[in-house]
Amino acid sequence: MGQPISDQGRITKALLTRCYPDAGAEPPLGAHLVTPRHGYSHHGIYVGDGKVVHYAGLAGSLHRGPVEEVSITRFAAGYEVLIEPSADPVYVRHEAVRRARSRLGENRYRLLTNNCEHFCAWCLYGESRSEQVLACFIDPRAALRTALCLFTAFLAAACPARRTVACAS
């Protein structure tokens, strides 16, 4: 607390160390899962039996997608899956899962106001927020890097045969 958002982002990234699968262990029920991508991180809530509820948003294509329940493999999309430590969540385990599933099918994704990170914060804390979005508003260079990486990722998705330069996270 009391640290600039950009410092909190670096600290949070350093804490994202528990990988799934971790020696065959299943993530805790209601865990906030993160997959670091090129220029951003994708977020979801673990609901058990190898399933994750997430806001599909722009994660899988150029078209926004609804809140959906998918396998952890599909959620990961080839990236590592980390567990984000949640400081004193209001809703835990079964209640976090219930909240996540209560929004299945919702299709109101908005990159800046209702994305996958906003969704996870709402499931765990009852309030919609995104540290990634806040960091972009505070540091215009971060916003520019993120926009460039997202644009590059969208081009790669639209033209898979075309080679693009990957962005460093």
pLDDT in tens, 32-68: 999 998 778 899 999 999 999 999 876 555 567 899 9
Q: What's the token pair of residue 75?
A: 């959620």
Tokens representing 55 are: 């806001």
Neighbour-count burial for 149-165, b at 16+ CB within 10 Å, e otherwise: bbebbeebeeeeeeeee
Residues of the chain with pLDDT under 50: 1-17, 23, 163-169
* Residue of 145, 156, 162 whose CA lies nearest to 6: 145
**What pLDDT score was predicted for residue 27?**
93
Evaluate whether 4 touches 138 at the Cβ level (below 8 Å). Answer: yes
Cβ distance 47 to 26 under 8 Å?
no
**Whole-angstrom distance, CA of residue 20 vs CA of residue 150:** 25
Q: What is the pLDDT of residue 19?
A: 58
Res 80: pLDDT? 92
Q: For each of the domains in the chain, give its residue range(s) and CATH number, in order of start.
A: 5-158 (3.90.1720.10)
Smallest CA-to-CA distance from 42 within 117, 111, 145 is with: 117
Question: How far is residue 169's CA from residue 167's CA, in Å, rounded to a whole number?
Answer: 6
Based on the number of CB atoms within 10 Å of its own CB, is 56 exposed (0-12), middle (13-18) or buried (19 or more)?
buried
Give me 166's structure tokens: 């990957």
Residue 140: partners with Cβ closer than 8 Å, 6 or more residues away = none
Per-residue model confidence (pLDDT) at position 9: 38
